[in-house]
Amino acid sequence: MRRLLLLPFLFMPSLHADPIAYPVTRKENITDTYHGVTVEDTYRWLEDDYSPETKAWVVAQNAVTQQSLAAIPSREAIRSRLTELWNYERSSLPQTEGGKWFYTVNSGLQDQAVLHVADSLDGERRVLLDPNALSEDGTVSLATYAVSEDGRWLAYATSGGGSDWNEIRVREIATGRDLDDHLRWVKFSGLSWAKDGSGFYYSRYPAPPEGEALTQVNENQTLWFHRVGTTQEEDRLIYERPDQPRWGIGGWVSEDGDYLLIHLSQGTDPKNRFAYLSLKDEGAAVVELLSEGDAEYSFIGNLGPVFHFHTDLDAPRKRVIAIDIRRPGREDWREVVPESGDLLDSARLVGGKLFGTYMKDASDRLYRFEADGSGKTEIRLPGLGSIGGLSGKQRDKEVFYAFTSFTEPPSIYRLDIASGQSSLWRKAEVGFDGSAYETKQVFFESKDGTRVPMFIVHRKGIALDGSHRVLMYGYGGFQISLQPGFSVSRAVWLGRGGIAVTVNLRGGGEYGREWHDAGRKLNKQNVFDDFIAAAETLVAEGYTRPGKLAIQGGSNGGLLVGACLTQRPELFGAALPAVGVMDMLRFNQFTIGWAWEEDYGSPADPEAFRVLHRYSPYHALKPGVRYPATLVTTADHDDRVVPAHSFKFAARLQECQAKDGPPVLIRIDTSAGHGAGTALSKVIERTADEWAFLESVLE
């Protein structure tokens, strides 16, 4: 069967063949004035996703989309191959508490991974929590969990239908019995137990008005302590900042149990503040340790009263510093690991040592230091790829990490701290021969001469004759780095003769703070220029031609795709914008959208408005232009980037598309959200639709 799937697509019917009758989308005469500029918003009524008219529009659009996609002959073969490849066992990194081991396992095609507990690392495991049993359609997911240090209690948060809202419950580990504890209106929160297991710390928001949970602006997050066996009404308020309603407040307990660390953020700006509460001293007050918001500070562990931070203060590629809270003045701060030429992407104290993960041109290197920063030693990794997590505590003698590349699925390794030697704990066995493919890292020049990298993955021995279908993926924002990593979806694309490209755009975090700053706010156009230059390079080097080039991105990456297809429509054959931020003048009006002003700027600022209005995908569309074939995807429970962005963009694109232009479809998933926790069955169906669409519309 695999050989059949590799045959060229010479006789595939195309969605270009017959014009699609799109549902009629009503237009309103609505305008806004920004800094003297009048802007139309004729599809604003689609922002009300609860209205009967919007719901009817969704049903009508989905009907047209599903009818079109179901008619593509290759779709079933793609869906079958996706199902086949995804059917492999995969585990999370293990963690230990109270003499027991905890990790999640997906046996293959389960919609959600199942949390297990075992008495030893390689001992027989038993199910502790199966999210698949919490809903009939697999759409309730385990968002996060924490185990008390004595191994008695499990605090766990679930999400329904992909929403960012979580509900927290407490389970007795020995019996598997849930207590009556039930906490609501939790979002963007961790769970951290008090050392004695009496309760845990978490963050929550005020309850939204009825019917507005998925759209209301999220402000006034607060930090609370919940005691096991009590109601949420009895929870104790730990910290709030009513004077700063847009601050994010998170808290966790230090490993020694002596301190509650309080992280204070402002939107998505990496710069943050930091406070702590001594848990040793009854009646102690919260102490503001880092209050200026002048840099990014990540707490990585403490040795008594000496706190270690991973920071970009005076170090764009980051370093590690130590602050003795008994002498917190900056003149007494000590540098533990200095900045180097490569980005120190993460650091943590484990087993009496300090481990640092460095990123060099978007791939990882791992080093071990003494706690004082001396004795830097490289830990040999299995190859060129990326590390997923580094789990372990200061009392441990080993740590665990996952390692992956574009052609190898994640395998979990256990690292002996003393010797620095790694051994394989769990290897993912996938029915995909990665050795048949090669990965190249290519550097190209962007519009302004900046050197930008991208990874190109393809079958070995291809001819660079412009004949290949290419799927180009990017993100370019919020200091998020795109590193080598295995994807079943990409594996299927590769197996059907495609080329997969990942571009490390400015706005990401691959080269530290300066790389991020070069692609945000007034510099955002650099991100789109980078992506466009990558496409031009792929065409010039013979990998593909515009009619065979597809672009894909989600969330901020959906904005990327929307901006590029409006700026250079002739350069691309197809576009897959997923859950994208498409209306750059109203993104800050819903849920947590205001927080993105730290990356995008605010429409209320005249200078930022001019930039936002210029590239906003919804506003940049022009009637009669031949835009690439486009499949917009979103979900009805996305309360991160509300679906109105995609609704309005799709409606406007259908209106503006040239009469003889390729199809513009929108696929709206139900009981799904921004992406995290989406049921695997839904992921398979969506990906089958996307790949079938691309194969049908690309020349």
What pLDDT, in 10s, does the model give residues 310-348? 999 999 999 999 999 999 999 999 999 999 999 999 999
At residue 212, the pLDDT reads 85
CA distance linking residue 656 with residue 435, whole number of Å:
45
Which residues are catalytically annotated?
Answer: 555, 674
For residues 50 and 649, give the distance between their C-alpha atoms in angstroms, rounded to a whole number: 18
Residue 161, CA atoms < 13 Å, CB-side half-sphere: 14
Evaluate if pTM is beyond 0.95: no
Rama region for 476: left / alpha / beta (φ>0; ψ in -120 to 50; rest):
left
Measured from the Cβ of residue 636, the count of other Cβ atoms closer than 10 Å reads 17
Cα–Cα nearest to 155, from 125, 118, 129, 175: 129
- pLDDT at position 10 is 28
CA distances from 671 to 111, 213, 489 (A): 13, 15, 21
Contacts of 76 (CB under 8 A, 6+ apart): none
Would you say the C-alpha torsion 186, 387, 516, 527 has a positive or negative sign? Answer: negative
- Interatomic CA distance for residues 689 and 667, integer angstroms: 9
The pLDDT value recorded for residue 216 is: 84
Take residue 676 and report the two structure tokens written for it: 């995290």
The closest of 36, 146, 15 to 690, measured between CA atoms, is: 15
Q: What is the pLDDT of residue 210?
A: 87
> For the chain, which residues score pLDDT lower than 50?
1-13
On average, the pLDDT of the chain sits at 94
SS3 content of the chain, % helix, strand, coil (to 5): 25, 35, 45
Residue type, 99: G
SS3 track for 493-526: HHHCCCEEEEECCCCCCCCCHHHHHCCCHHHCHH
CA 577 – CA 621 distance, rounded (Å) = 15
Q: Closest by alpha carbon to 62, among 583, 672, 639?
A: 672
Distant-in-sequence, close-in-space partners of 329: CB < 8 Å, separation ≥ 6? none
Phi then psi dihedrals of residue 491, to 5 deg: -60, -40
Could you give the C-alpha distances from 116 to 103, 123, 150, 409, 445, in angstroms and in order? 6, 11, 17, 21, 48
Structure tokens that stand for 408 in this block: 């190898």
Cβ-based neighbours of 66, under 8 Å, separated by 6 or more: 667
**Could you tell me if 623 and 661 are in contact, meaning their C-beta atoms sit under 8 angstroms apart?**
no
Given the structure tokens 């004759």, which residue do they identify? 465
Residue the block writes with tokens 């059917």? 87
Q: What is the pLDDT of residue 217?
A: 84
